[in-house]
């Protein structure tokens, strides 16, 4: 049973782990990529409804996760495939969730649930395969901590600094066979040292940075600006992550101390951290942006980029100093801020996920721009 805080209840069938879970219920419009969604740390504290009706048909494998394992609280689908029909698969979706202690519910009307969330907004929910009293589960849903004011970054950040892909075996494009066979000749020399602040970073972001000639040191959220600068970085990257950005002063205050000292590039939560570091405000979206095919206008090129997104908060551009901060990207569905750039300093950010590469344009140009900024600073 899935119960929402407004009293709405859905009945389905359990798969994955036979346990209870609570969190904010959101919907994701992606057709494929469910393993990447499940393992995205930005979903910590949330239960994800997939709008595509059949999920799990190509199973899961050991290479496609965006982190070490599932990060969401529960998965909600119309039908969970029992067949893992792909030669790379090492387990079915249900087996994978069960192994990691994550519950799933299938057989509910996900179209109805999605429309409900679109009309009323994302809301707290609770899923159980043992407690089947509707009133009890609704009460448990209402007891779930709201997303506003919640810090989930502490649960997903790394505990100690580490070097990403020190032996250059994980960052090359996946080939027929495996990544490691051709790694030495496919990656460019590591010309720049980048420090990435891990608020829940996705592995594909790290791969993209390495593919653009960066050697990346990942540090925990809350690492001070002085500690970061002591690593002598050519640039600093601010990662994606879960929860309310306004609840992370221990991150954006340190980001504020970095601005102007080194080139900075932020994605998703990193974009919001920069918005707050610039003195702006963030606010919660009604049901957020989760999934593929979100049209974003690049105001500099006047091209529309078809993007992958995963966020429940946005930066309020009117709260920023427009003489200092330029609006570079706008969401064409709801006109929310999708990109910012400092007019004088080497600092820029986007709300969407360029590393996910869903659209027809070059999805990695922003990583190239980050490299150009570091190259410019190095040349003086």
Distance CA 268, CA 312 (A): 10
pLDDT confidence of residue 131: 82
Distance CA 45, CA 247 (A): 14
Query: Residues with Cβ < 8 Å from 34, sequence gap 6 or more?
Result: 50, 55, 56, 93
Q: Look at the block and give the residue holding tokens 């027809």.
A: 360
Distance CA 38, CA 334 (A): 26
- CB of 161 closer than 8 Å to CB of 24: no
* Local confidence band at 172 (pLDDT 50, 70, 90 cut-offs): confident
N-term to C-term CA, the chain: 61
The share of the chain scoring above pLDDT 90, in percent, equals 90
* 181 has a pLDDT exceeding 60: no
* DSSP calls for 11-51: --EEEESS--EEEEEEEE--SS-HHHHHT-GGGTTEEEEES
Residue among 191, 210, 262, 259 at smallest CA distance from 233: 262
Give the mean pLDDT of the chain. Answer: 95
Residue among 342, 294, 336, 233 at smallest CA distance from 29: 294
Q: pLDDT tens, 286-343?
A: 999 999 999 999 999 999 999 999 999 999 999 999 999 999 999 999 999 999 999 9
In this structure, what are the phi and psi dihedrals at residue 53, rounded to the nearest 5 degrees? -75, -25
* 361 has a pLDDT exceeding 80: no
Distance CA 285, CA 314 (A): 7
* Local confidence band at 98 (pLDDT 50, 70, 90 cut-offs): very high
Per-residue tokens: 374: 């570091």
C-beta atoms surrounding 103 within 10 Å? 22
Q: Is residue 81 packed enough to be buried (19+ CB in 10 Å), middle (13-18) or exposed (0-12)? A: middle
Q: pLDDT tens, 27-76?
A: 999 999 999 999 999 999 999 999 999 999 999 998 899 999 999 999 99
Distance CA 146, CA 47 (A): 13
Structural domains in the chain, sorted by start: 2-143 (3.50.30.20), 153-379 (3.40.50.880)
Q: Which one-letter DSSP state was computed for residue 146?
A: P
Catalytic residues: 268, 353, 355
pLDDT confidence of residue 380: 83
Distance CA 200, CA 134 (A): 34
Angle, CA 139 vertex, CA 136 and CA 143 arms, to 5° = 135
CA distances, 86 to each of 50, 83, 89, 99 (Å): 20, 9, 5, 20
Per-residue tokens: 52: 């595509």
- CB of 234 closer than 8 Å to CB of 192: yes
Distance CA 311, CA 42 (A): 8
């Amino acid at each position: 049973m899935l119960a929402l805080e407004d009293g709405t209840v859905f009945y389905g069938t359990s798969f994955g782990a036979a346990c209870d879970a609570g969190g904010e219920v959101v919907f994701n419009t992606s057709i494929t990529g469910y393993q990447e969604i499940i393992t995205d740390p930005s979903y910590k504290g949330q239960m994800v409804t997939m709008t595509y009706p059949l999920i799990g048909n190509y199973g899961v494998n050991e290479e496609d996760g965006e982190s070490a394992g599932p990060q969401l609280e529960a998965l909600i689908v119309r039908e969970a495939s029992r067949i893992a029909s792909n030669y790379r698969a090492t387990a079915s979706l249900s087996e994978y969730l069960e192994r990691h202690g994550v519950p799933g519910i299938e057989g509910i009307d996900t179209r109805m649930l999605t429309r409900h969330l679109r009309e009323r907004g994302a809301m707290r929910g609770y899923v159980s395969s043992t407690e089947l009293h509707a009133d009890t589960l609704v009460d448990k849903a209402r007891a779930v901590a709201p997303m506003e004011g919640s810090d989930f970054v502490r649960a997903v950040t790394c505990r100690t600094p580490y070097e990403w892909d020190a032996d250059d075996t994980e960052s090359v494009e996946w080939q027929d066979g495996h990544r490691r066979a051709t790694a030495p000749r496919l990656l460019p020399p590591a010309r720049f040292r980048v420090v990435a602040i891990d608020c829940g970073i996705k592995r594909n972001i790290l791969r993209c940075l390495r593919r653009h000639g960066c050697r990346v040191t990942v540090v925990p959220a809350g690492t001070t600006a002085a500690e970061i600068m002591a690593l002598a970085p050519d640039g600093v990257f601010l990662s994606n992550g879960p929860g309310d950005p306004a609840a992370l002063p221990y991150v954006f205050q340190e980001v504020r101390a970095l601005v102007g000292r080194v080139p900075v590039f932020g994605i998703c939560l990193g974009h919001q951290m920069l918005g707050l570091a610039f003195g702006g405000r963030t606010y919660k979206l009604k049901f957020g942006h989760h999934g593929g095919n979100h049209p974003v206008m690049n105001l500099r090129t006047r091209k529309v980029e078809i993007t992958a997104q995963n966020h429940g908060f946005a930066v309020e551009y009117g709260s920023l100093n427009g003489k200092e901060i330029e609006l570079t990207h706008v969401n064409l569905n709801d006109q929310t801020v999708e990109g910012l750039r400092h007019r004088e300093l080497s600092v820029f950010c986007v709300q969407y996920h360029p590393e996910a590469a869903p659209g027809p344009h070059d999805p990695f140009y922003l990583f190239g721009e980050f490299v150009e900024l570091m190259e410019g600073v190095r040349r003086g």
